């Protein structure tokens, strides 16, 4: 059986998380959460391309990563605190999260990908860099952008602040899907419609307990989920990345956007009930707690 080749080019970090009912230090970043989900599917093979430090080596179990050797002593750190459904973030060692140069060896890895995720945590992936990446992709590959890093600036205390996605008009035409959270930027729905009108691709906005919104060719479709009361959530960190992985997997199988979003909602819902650092092989990722999703 030929496996689906998944490639994630982005930033990885070490998370210091204090979430709804959980506190821990673990590997973090979209690339890590997506890798954990795809590791549950036997028909998938995942590769991560990201810079990292020597302190990340203990977290490399079950992660196929390029480059094979660390580039720094310290890895990018994100400190996440969630309280009353609001998240405060702080970052350290941002200079150690430089984009990996796109040379022949990296180009050959990109050429193999059936699904490509571009998932920055910082706004240092230039349009030229994205163009370089996409230039190596297969024509039929599914190209997905998780642009959360483009929406982030950092103040003198290393706290995350809001930033406008200034590179959008040069970056978005290169991708098939853009998956964002309504919390990434003010009036995200309005922004999503503007992107679609200009670039004619598909934008998916995750809405937390309200599910997800598909914006495509000036139309929008809301795909609901089962809301979870705040006092029942163990850990919501990484839920957007888990959603993105579920969407990509199901879309690759069905080529149906609505079906893929429904599946992604289910997968993200299921993972709210335990800490994200506990994501590992699950007996069956298809067994969900309610038929109300259908």
Sign of CA dihedral 118, 122, 128, 129: negative
Pairing of strands 115-119, 4-10: parallel
Q: Could you tell me which of 189, 149, 179 has the C-alpha nearest to residue 165? A: 149
Pairing of strands 77-83, 13-18: parallel
Q: What percent of the chain has pLDDT over 90?
A: 69
What confidence tens digit (pLDDT) does each residue in 173-228 have? 999 999 999 999 999 999 999 999 999 899 999 998 899 999 998 689 999 988 77
Structural domain boundaries in the chain: 4-12+30-51+104-286
pTM comes to 0.90
What confidence tens digit (pLDDT) does each residue in 261-282 have? 999 999 888 877 766 556 654 4
Q: What's the mean pLDDT when you consider all of the chain?
A: 89
User: Is 32's pLDDT higher than 70?
Assistant: yes
Question: Position of tokens 């579920």?
Answer: 246
CATH superfamily of 4-12+30-51+104-286: Ribokinase (3.40.1190.20)
Q: Could you tell me which of 121, 120, 119 has the C-alpha nearest to residue 92? A: 121
User: Is 82's pLDDT higher than 80?
Assistant: no
Beta bridge partners of 87: 82
Q: In what order do the strands lie in the sheet with 23-28?
A: 23-28, 13-18, 77-83, 86-92
**DSSP-H helix ranges across 76-207:** 104-112, 127-135, 168-171, 188-199
Whole-angstrom distance, CA of residue 235 vs CA of residue 242: 12
Q: Could you tell me which of 267, 186, 191 has the C-alpha nearest to residue 226? A: 267
């Amino acid at each position: 059986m030929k496996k689906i080749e998944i490639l994630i080019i982005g930033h990885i970090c070490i998370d210091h998380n204090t979430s709804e009912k959980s506190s821990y230090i673990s590997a973090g970043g979209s690339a890590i959460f997506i890798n954990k989900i795809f590791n549950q599917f036997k028909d998938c093979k995942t590769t991560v391309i990201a810079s990292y430090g020597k302190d990340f080596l203990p977290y490399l179990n079950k992660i196929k990563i390029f480059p094979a050797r660390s580039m720094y002593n310290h890895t990018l750190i994100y400190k996440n605190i969630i309280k009353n459904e609001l998240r405060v973030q702080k970052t350290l060692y941002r200079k150690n999260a430089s984009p990996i140069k796109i040379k022949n060896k990296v180009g050959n890895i990109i050429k193999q990908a059936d699904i490509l995720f571009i998932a920055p945590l910082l706004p240092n992936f230039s349009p030229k860099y994205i163009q370089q990446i996409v230039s190596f992709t297969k024509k039929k590959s599914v190209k997905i952008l998780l642009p959360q890093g483009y929406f982030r600036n950092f103040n003198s205390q290393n706290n995350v602040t809001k930033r406008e996605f200034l590179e959008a008009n040069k970056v978005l035409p290169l991708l098939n899907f853009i998956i964002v959270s309504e919390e990434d930027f003010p009036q995200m729905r309005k922004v999503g419609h503007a992107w679609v009108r200009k670039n004619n691709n598909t934008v998916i906005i995750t809405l937390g307990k309200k599910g997800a919104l598909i914006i495509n060719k000036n139309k929008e479709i809301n795909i609901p989920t089962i809301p979870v009361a705040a006092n029942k959530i163990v850990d919501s960190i990484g839920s957007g990345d888990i959603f993105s992985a579920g969407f990509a997997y199901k879309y690759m199988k069905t080529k149906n956007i609505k079906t893929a979003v429904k599946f992604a909602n289910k997968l993200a819902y299921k993972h709210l009930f335990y800490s994200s650092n506990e994501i590992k092989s699950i007996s069956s990722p298809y067994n969900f707690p309610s038929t109300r999703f259908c």
